[in-house]
Structures are given as C-alpha cells and as structure tokens.
Chain A
Amino acid sequence: MANIRWGIVIDLRRCVGCHTCSVACKSEFLVPLSVYRQWVKVIEKGQYPNVSRSFLPSMCNCCENPICVHNCPTQATFKREDGIVLQDPHRCIGCKYCIASCPYDVRYADPMKRIVQKCTWCHHRIDTGLEPACVNACPSFAMTFGDLNDPESRISKVLASNAVQVLKPEKDTRPHVYYIGADEVAMRAIGGANRKEKPVWWLWVMGNFVKKEHKG
C-alpha cells in the first residue's frame, strides 16, 4: 500500500449527464434525502439556435492540502496515507466548521446520523480492490480511477496525455479530481448563479461607483 496516491480523472467529452454516478453513490451509502455526496451540476448556455449543455460531476476532491482537516477541532476528519480524506463518525461532534471551510460544498450534516458526512471515494471498495461506485457505474467510461504515483496506471497515462483542470486552484488545496474539457462557467461557483437581479434601491443615490461590470 505504500506510496499510493489515488486520483480521479473525469473526461467531460464523454459525459452524457445521465446522473448514474449520483444514483450509484446514493444507493452505495444510503445517503439521506436532501443531501448528496456526489452530484452532477448541469448548466445550459447560449441563445437558440446556438446552445449547449455542460456537465460537471462534483465530489470530494480529496485535496493534498485539505482545509477541512486543518480546521477540524477534534481530528475527526483526517487524510489517509493514500490521500483519501475521511470522517471518523465516532469522533465528530458536528460543529460543522469543516462544512464552512470546504470550498467545494461537498460536506453535509447528515440529518439521520447527526454528524458531518462526506464522499469517501468508497474507501471500503478501494481497499478490497474495487473502483468507487460512481466510477464503476459510469456507462460512458468518463471517469478514470487509479494510482497517480504509478506511471504505468491508466490514470497517469490519461493525465499525461490530456490538458486537465481542477476546481478552484486559487484556494491552494491541490485537488485530486481532474477534469478534461470542463466548461469554464460550470466550474465557477458564482458564474450565472440562478438568482434574480434585484432592484438596487440605493444605488441611484450613491451614483454608480460600485456597479462593476464583471458579474459573470
């Protein structure tokens, strides 16, 4: 087991947006209603007839430098040697500070167990030699799971031969979920958020000095 560093590459050129990964995850862990360990963000852009849909499967990034582990006051969340970030269900007091710290919103307070839970990259399956449930279930082989430290593994070859992106690299978390061909707006959290623009009741008083144009 020494010197293994697991990683996931998601090739969005192959993703068809079927949500099978999310369903597999829900059934693997019996994740309660209203919370998700893995989900597919779907965006639609453009004006008819020039329109497209983009997908972004989201899960724990199992960061090299996880903020949740840094901030957990009871060491309930920890990083294994192979890089997987896990949550100790017996030690967690449910202060939810890790949820507030995670830049990817992948942690949640479990409404049934009353602790914080997260995507575990199916460590119970990995330890017996299987792939994570979402990777296993993907019908279009968009997801690749493997050892990043082994240059002969399929994931290393995919990473070496493609241009990849990660989510929010500016947070210095060094994520280990890589995307090929992800849409820029889908990766951005605030981009075109589906909130309505509200009338600004005081801007006309103050002039337009705060109305900057990069809302996108």
Chain B
Amino acid sequence: MESGLNIIYNVYHTPPLEFPIAVYFYLTGLSAGSFLLSTLAYGFGIEKFKPLGLLGVSLAVILLILAPINLIIDLEQPMRFWHLFPYLNMKSPITYGTFLLSLYPLNAIIYGYFMYKKNYRLTKIFGFIGIPLAISVHGYTGFILALSKARALWNTALMPFLFLVSAMVSGIAMMMIAVAIKQRYFSEDKHIHDNIIFDLGKILNMTIFLDLFLILSDILVLQTADTEAHHAAMLILTSDFSPMFLGVEIIIGSFIPLMLFNIPMFKKRIGFQIAAAILVMIGILAMRYVMVIGGQSIPLS
C-alpha cells in the first residue's frame, strides 16, 4: 500500500471469458498444427512424413469439430449462435472465425477423403488450400485477444504469432504421441519405428526455441511499455499467475523438454522423447490458461 492508499469501494465485474475459451484456443491450435504436419508429406512431398498424413488430418478434423462446441457452450444464449451468420459485423475478429471455423473443417474433410482414396493430385491441391486456412484459423484467435484492446496482456501485435508458434509446438508434440500410440497398439508389428519420432522431435526442438524467443520479447516489451502492461508482466512473472506461467509453461513445458531433446543421455531414448512431448502439451495448455484467464484478472475500473 503506497502512502496509505486504500480502495474503499469499487465494482469489478466477473471476467467474461472463462476456461472453455482457453480450451477452445488449445484445441484449434492442436488442429492447425496437426493439419500442417499432414501436408508435409502430401503437399510438399517429404516422403519420410507419410505416416503422419491420414493420422494428422483425422485428428485435425476431430479436434476442430470439438473446438467450436466449447465456444457455443460458453455463450450465454447458445441457441442464438446462428446470429453470427445473418447479422455479421465484418469488423469483428469473431466474424473471421465464423467463416474460418466453417470452411477449414470442410476443406480438411475433402483433403482427408482424397488422401484416403489415394488421389494424390487432388490431395495436394486441397492440402495447399488448407495451409492458409489452417494458419488463419489459429492466427485469428490471436487477433481476438489482440484486438480487445482493454486488456494489456493481450493488446500486442505479437499475439497472433505467439498463438501460431505455440500451435505448431503443441501440434507437433501431439503428433509424436499419436504416432507412437498408433504404431505401438494399432499397427501390424506393434513396434514403434522411432525415426519419425526423432525427426518430429528435432522440429519440435526448434519451434520451442522460437516460442521461447517470442515469449521473451513479449515480456520484455510489456515490462517497459506502460503502467498496465508493466502490471500485466508482473502478474505473470511474480504474482498470482507466476506458478502457472513460470512453473508450468516455462519450466515444465519448455525447459525440461529442451533438456530431454538436447542432453545426449536422454536424446537417444524414445521414452524420453514421448515424455517431453507430453510435457510440452501440458505447457501449452498452461499458456492458453495464463493468456485468457490471466489477461482478464487485471482490474479495469
């Protein structure tokens, strides 16, 4: 309390966006990440990633059907969700989402269908149509936060990139786990062919570094921008949300996986690779939680 200042009475309304929104961001991120990985083989023709194709697109479709359910549950009037189409406001970032969340799963289903039918020419075409859709279906969620400029933690131009990179991080981690489960339990020889998991691990390693760099630049600028931004940075660094941010997102979700990927003792073992992938997925869920819930916990009035 500086110089005896006291707030005797004030009204703080309940934070509007709750945990389902954080889960929604997490699921779209996983979906976009796994879709982009599936196009590595069928769009860009990298043969060694072929096993990711059908698995990636199936996960992308399932997750993107689950994700908007969180949004509709979170509405105060779920039965009015159709208002988003006839009464749309082109300036609102939610409107971009209305169209992207309709087009992206449709395209992914067509892309998956042609992949299943082994029509590689059409698979490639729909894969390339899907890449910008997948990027924007997750990038727009960054804009949702960045454009509600009341909240200091969200109102930064880095937000879409932060969301895209963390989507790639969590998507790659999920694919490592999914490939391992598929090969261990649902393949003919019940054996994990570890080449693909190590290859994914190398990509994941690089994207975690990129993610950490973006988080660092975000925090450094928040520290020095203005009073509210400084308060937001302190909130996640030293106050209520620091165990979630520093403990889970940074240490458990990034530093320990980086150690598992880079220390020679661990990096040859498939078990440690899968463990690192699980930790990364937990860390990104914590990142969504800190962003959505933490961003709203700074008083505005």
Q: Name A residues whose Cβ lies closer than 8 Å to a Cβ of B.
A: 34-36, 39-47, 51, 53, 58, 67, 70-76, 91-97, 99-109, 114-116, 170-171, 185, 188-195, 198, 200-203, 210, 212, 214-216
Chain B window 264-301, contacts with chain A (Cβ cutoff 8 Å), 1 for yes, 0 for no: 00000000000000000000000000000000101111
Q: Which of B7, B92, B95 contacts A194 (CB 8 A)?
A: B7
Taking CB atoms, residues of chain A closer than 8 Å to B89 are 72-75
Residue of A nearest to B231 (CB): A190
Measured CB to CB, the residues of B under 8 A from A are 1-14, 16-17, 71, 74-77, 80-81, 83-84, 87-89, 91-95, 98, 144, 147-151, 223, 226-228, 230-231, 233-234, 237-240, 242, 246, 296, 298-301
Task: Report the minimal beta-carbon distance from A133 to chain B, rounded to whole angstroms.
Answer: 17
The CA of A82 and the CA of B126, in the complex, are separated in Å by: 50
Give Cα A185–Cα B150 distance, bound, in whole angstroms. 18
Find the A residue at minimum CB distance from B151: A100
| Cα–Cα distance between A51 and B6 once the two chains are bound (Å) | 11
Closest chain A CB from B276 CB (angstroms): 23
Bound-state CA distance A104–B92 (Å) is 19
Q: Which residues on the B side are within 8 Å of A193 (C-beta)? A: 7, 299
Q: Is B11 touching A58 in the complex (CB atoms < 8 A)?
A: yes
Distance between B70 CB and nearest chain A CB, rounded to angstroms:
12
What are some 7 contacts across the A-B interface (CB < 8 A)?
Answer: A39-B10, A41-B9, A41-B10, A46-B3, A96-B76, A106-B301, A109-B76
Q: Which of B7, B150, B227 interacts with A102 by CB under 8 Å?
A: B150
Known: A189-B299, A214-B227. A93 touches B148 (CB 8 A): no
Q: Beyond A99-B13, A109-B16, A190-B228, is A94–B75 a contact (Cβ under 8 Å)?
A: yes
CB nearest to A192 among chain B residues = B5
Q: CA A189 – CA B231 in complex, angstroms?
A: 11
Cβ contact within 8 Å between B92 and A72 = yes
When A and B form their complex, what is the total count of cross-chain residue pairs whose Cβ atoms lie within 8 Å? 183
B227, A192: Cβ atoms closer than 8 Å: no
Residues of B within 8 A of A194 (CB): 6-7
7 cross-chain pairs, A with B, having the tightest CB-CB distances, nearest first: A94-B76, A96-B16, A192-B5, A73-B94, A99-B16, A101-B148, A103-B150
Provide the residues of chain A in CB contact with B149, threshold 8 Å.
67, 101, 103, 171
Q: Assess the B94–A97 pair: CB atoms within 8 A.
A: yes
Is the CB–CB distance between B223 and A43 below 8 Å?
Answer: no
Are A189 and B2 in contact, CB atoms less than 8 angstroms apart? Answer: no
Nearest CB to that of B6 among chain A residues? A44
CB contacts (< 8 Å) of A171 on chain B: these are: 149-150
Residues in A neighbouring B76, C-beta threshold 8 A: 92-96, 109, 114-116
* Interfacial chain B residues near A100, Cβ < 8 Å: 16-17, 148, 150-151, 296
Distance in angstroms from B116 CB to nearest chain A CB is: 35
Rounded to whole angstroms, the CA-CA distance of A163 and B255 in the bound complex is 54
Please tell me which one of the listed residues B13, B91, B296 contacts residue A35 in the complex, with CB atoms under 8 A apart: B13
Nearest chain-B residue to A45 (Cβ)?
A: B5
The residue in chain A whose Cβ has the minimal distance to the Cβ of B93 is: A71
Residues of A within 8 A of B81 (CB): 93
Beyond contacts A96-B74, A100-B148: 17 other A-B pairs, Cβ-Cβ < 8 A, are A35-B13, A39-B9, A44-B8, A70-B92, A72-B92, A73-B89, A74-B88, A97-B94, A99-B13, A104-B150, A115-B76, A170-B226, A191-B5, A192-B6, A193-B7, A194-B6, A210-B223
